[in-house]
């Protein structure tokens, strides 16, 4: 079992939540994950990381699978211009490779904002540290677990 997957499982169980991780098959993209999970595209939680152009500080945006992060809105929330984090920064900050970035279990905590669209569902699905593993969670529990702030940052 991968170290990344174990970190996500530990984050869930240490928070008193059930370990709902499953091997879903190919789930690198939101579309693949929705097909693998048999759910709506917007039930997939995409973990998108940005870095401050001046500070280099990393910020995490959790968005519904069918939505795209608006750089201007995200920058306004962060208080500085943001650029998309590259694979090396994503790995160094989270410990996960792009395509398997979980919203939990990061090596280094980052400020987190969450797309209110995710709150429309009883259950959402997020990457569990690998491109093949996902976990299910109530969006309210995800908000609490990640200390995310609900905000409008999508196009």
* pLDDT mean over 3-30: 94
Kindly state the tokens that stand for 118: 């995710």
CA–CA separation, 38 vs 109, rounded Å? Answer: 31
In the chain, which ranges are continuous DSSP H helix?
3-14, 30-37, 71-78, 87-94, 139-146
What confidence tier does 124 reach under pLDDT thresholds 50, 70, 90? very high
Fold for the domain defined by 3-150: YbaK protein (3.90.960)
Q: Which of 99, 69, 65, 101 is nearest to 84 (CA)?
A: 69
pLDDT in tens, 66-80: 999 999 999 999 999
Res. 1: pLDDT tops 80: no
């Amino acid at each position: 079992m991968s170290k990344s997957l174990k970190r996500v499982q530990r984050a869930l169980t240490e928070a008193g939540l059930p370990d709902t991780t499953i091997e879903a098959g190919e789930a690198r993209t939101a579309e693949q994950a929705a097909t693998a999970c048999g759910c709506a595209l917007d039930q997939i939680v995409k973990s998108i990381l940005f870095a401050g152009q001046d500070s280099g500080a990393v910020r995490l945006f959790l968005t519904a699978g069918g939505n795209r992060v608006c750089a201007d809105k995200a920058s306004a929330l962060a208080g500085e211009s943001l650029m998309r984090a590259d694979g090396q920064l994503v790995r160094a900050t989270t410990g996960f490779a792009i395509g398997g970035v979980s919203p939990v279990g990061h090596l280094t905590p980052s400020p987190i904002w969450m797309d209110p669209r995710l709150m429309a569902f009883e259950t959402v699905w997020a990457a569990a540290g690998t491109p093949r593993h996902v976990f299910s969670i109530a969006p309210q529990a995800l908000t609490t677990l990640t200390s995310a702030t609900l905000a409008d940052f999508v196009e």
